[in-house]
Chains A and B, each alone.
Chain A
Amino acid sequence: MNRWLLLLVAALFLLSLAVGPAWWPWRLGNEVGWAIVWELRLPRATLGLLIGGVLGLSGAVLQGWLRNPLAEPGVIGVSACAGFAAVCAFYSGLAAAFALALPLAGIAGAAIAVALLMGAVRSGTGTVSLLLMGVAINAIAAALISLVLALSPNPFAYQEISLWLAGSIVDRDLRHLAIAAPFMVVGAVIVLGVGRWLDALSLGEDTARSLGADTKSLGLRLTLGVGLMVGAATSVAGVIGFVGLIAPHLIRARVGFRPGATLVPSMLVGAALVLGADIAVRLLPTASELQLGVFTSLVGAPFLVRAVRKAHAAWLAT
C-alpha cells in the first residue's frame, strides 16, 4: 500500500509544480519562467508535502498515544496554540529580526499544548472530555490571536485572523521553507520510531510497561516530536485542520487497527490530502482563492461527525 501512496504523493507533487495562473511557465523560456517554478511553486509544493505529511503523522501518533480516535492537532487545540505563539512572534516584528523565532515560537506553543493535554489524559479524561478541552483551547487561542492582531500597527493585520485559523500556503517563499522544513523533518524522525510502543500502549499503560515501555520518556519523545512538527507547520501556514483526523481513519482498517502500523501510511495520506487540497483551491473558480484550511475543514468535518458517532456507539455498547 505504501508504494501506491508514495506514487500518488509524487504525482500530486509534480502536478502542484505545474498548476498555477501562468500554467506552463517554462514556455516563457527565461529566468522569469524559472523564477515562477523555483521561487513560487516549489516552496508551495514542498511545504504542502511536508505540512500534510507531518499533520497526518501527528494525527496518527496522537490517536495511538491518547488511545482516542478523535485526537488530531487541529481538533484538540495543539495547532491553535502553535498559531497563537507564531502570531506573537510574527506581528511583534521578532520574526523579522530573527527568522527562526517564528518556527521556535510555534514549536513552543504546540509542545505546551500537548503537555497540558497529556496531563489531563493522565488524570483520566475520556474521549469526549478531550474533545471539549480542545474546544476550549481553540476558543482561547482564537481570542488571543485576535487580540494580538488588533494590537499590530499594520492596518491589514486584523483581517488576518482567518488566515491563521484556516491556513494557507499561498505566496510562501524559500525562506519559509528553509525555516520550517528542518524542524518538521526532525520531528517526524523522532516519532516514526515509536510505532512498536504505540502498539503496546493500545493494550493499556500497565501492560505496555510490563512489555518494557518507558512510558515517561515515550511521553517526552512524543511531546517533542509532535511539538516540532505541528509547531513548525503551523508557524508558516496557519492552522490546517482535520488532516490529522482523516489520514489515520482512511487507513486504519487496512493495516489491521494497529496504531504503530498507521504512522507511515498516515503521513503519506496526509501529504496527498494537503497537496491535493492545495491544487484544488488553485483550480476552483472562486472569486478569490479559497484558503487551504477552509477546504480541508469542508472535507474533514464530516469525518469528525462520523468518528464521534462511532465513538458514541462504542461507549453505549460498554
Chain B
Amino acid sequence: MALIRSFASFVLLLMALPAAAQTPQRVVTLNLCLDQLALRLAAPGQLVGVSYLSQDPRLSALADQAAPLAPVRDSFESILTLRPDLVILGQGSHASLKRLLRGAEVRVLELPWATSIGEAESVIEQMATALGREDVGRRLIAGMQRERRRLTWTGAPLGTAVYLEANRGTSGKDSLMDELLRLSGYRNLAAELGIGSFGRLSLETVLAGQPDLVVFDGTANDNPARATEFVGHHALLALAGKTKLASVPTRFSICAGPDNFEVMRRLAEARP
C-alpha cells in the first residue's frame, strides 16, 4: 500500500515537472552582489549555492544566511556538482563559464551590475521574476523606497564628504557612494575634483580639500595591510577635530541594494 502511494506521488511529481521547469528549484548565484539579492528573494531551499565571497562577513551583509549554502568558486565543476537548474551571474563576466553551462543545458540568467539604488531595484525585479517570487520582490522594493524616503536629508546642505577606500581609492561621480552621499545631504568632494566612479585620491588632497565628513571602513585594517593602513593614519586623525569621521563597514556599501540604507543610517548618525 505504502509502495503504491509512493509510486503515485512519483507519477504526480513527473506530471508536475513542466511547471517546475518554469520555477527553478536549484539556483546558484555567482557574484557577491547578486548573491545578496538572491538570499533575500529565494524561497527556502531554492538557493543551493552562492559565491564564496558571500560567506565572508567583511564583504557580505548576509554572511550568516549564506553560511549553510555551498560556497561556489567560478569553476564549472564545483557548479555542476550542485546540479543547478538556474545559474545567475553578472552581465559581461565569466564568458567561458557561460559557454560551458549552456553546453551542459543549464539555464543561465545574466543580470546587470547595479551601481545605484534604482538599478538595484530593477535587478531585484528581474531576479524575482526568474525565481517565481514576484511578490517578495515587490515587497523588498517597496521597503527600499520607504527607507530611502525616510533617510533622505531634506535640510540645508551639509557640505562636502569624501569616501576613502584601500590603496588611496575613492568613489567619484556616478558611483553608488556618490548617490548615498548626495541623498544624505553632502556634496562628494571626489566628484567635484573630477574623479570618475572609481579613482585615486592622495591623503594630502583629501586634507587640502577640507571635507566636512570623511567616510571609510574603520575595520578595514583589522588584518593589517599597507593598502588599508590609512585607517589609523595620523593625518586623518588630526582632522578629527574639524571634520567628522564616519565608519561604514564595506559590507554595506560594496553592492547596490537594501543594505545601502545602513550606510545612510551611519551617515545620519555622524551628522553635525
Contacts and interface: CB of A to CB of B under 8 A. Distances in A.
Contacts, number: 90
Nearest to A96: B224
Contacts of A153: 223
A40 B206 CA distance: 12
B204 A154 contact: no
A119 B268 CA distance: 64
Interface string A78-112: 00000000000011010110000000000000000
Given A39-B238, A171-B230, A173-B235, A95 B224 contact: yes
Contacts of B221: 154
B226 A160 contact: yes
B225 A35 contact: no
B58 to A, nearest CB: 8
A41 B227 CA distance: 19
A102 B112 CA distance: 45
A123 interface: no
Contacts of B107: none
A25 B167 CA distance: 23
B238 A35 contact: yes
Contact of A160 (B205, B223, B225, B233): B225
Interface in A26-55: 28, 31-33, 35-36, 38-41
Contacts of A91: 223-225
B225 A22 contact: no
B226 to A, nearest CB: 5
B208 A25 contact: yes
Main secondary structure of the interface of B (DSSP, over half): helix
Contact of B224 (A21, A31, A36, A93): A93
Residue of A28, A32, A93 ringed by the most chain B CB atoms within 10 A: A32
A152 B225 contact: yes
Interface residues of A, number: 35
Contact of A36 (B167, B207, B226): B207
Interface in A147-199: 152-157, 159-160, 163, 170-171, 173-175
Nearest to A173: B234
Main secondary structure of the interface of A (DSSP, over half): helix
Contacts of B233: 39, 171, 173
Given A40-B203, A288-B200, A154 B227 contact: yes
B101 interface: no
A21 B205 contact: yes
Contacts of A20: 202, 204
A40 B205 contact: no
Given A93-B223, A154-B227, A159-B227, A35 B167 contact: no
A22 B208 contact: yes
A279 to B, nearest CB: 14
A154 B225 contact: yes
The 9 closest A-B pairs by CB, nearest first: A156-B227, A22-B208, A39-B235, A154-B223, A154-B225, A173-B234, A35-B238, A157-B225, A153-B223
6 contacts: A22-B208, A90-B224, A154-B221, A156-B167, A156-B228, A173-B234
Interface of B: 58-59, 166-168, 200, 202-205, 207-208, 210, 221, 223-230, 233-235, 238-239, 241-242
Given A39-B234, A39-B235, A156-B167, 20 more contacts: A20-B202, A22-B208, A28-B210, A35-B238, A35-B239, A36-B208, A38-B238, A90-B224, A96-B224, A152-B223, A152-B225, A154-B224, A154-B227, A154-B228, A155-B58, A156-B166, A157-B225, A171-B202, A171-B230, A288-B200
Interface of A: 20-22, 25, 28, 31-33, 35-36, 38-41, 90-91, 93, 95-96, 152-157, 159-160, 163, 170-171, 173-175, 288-289
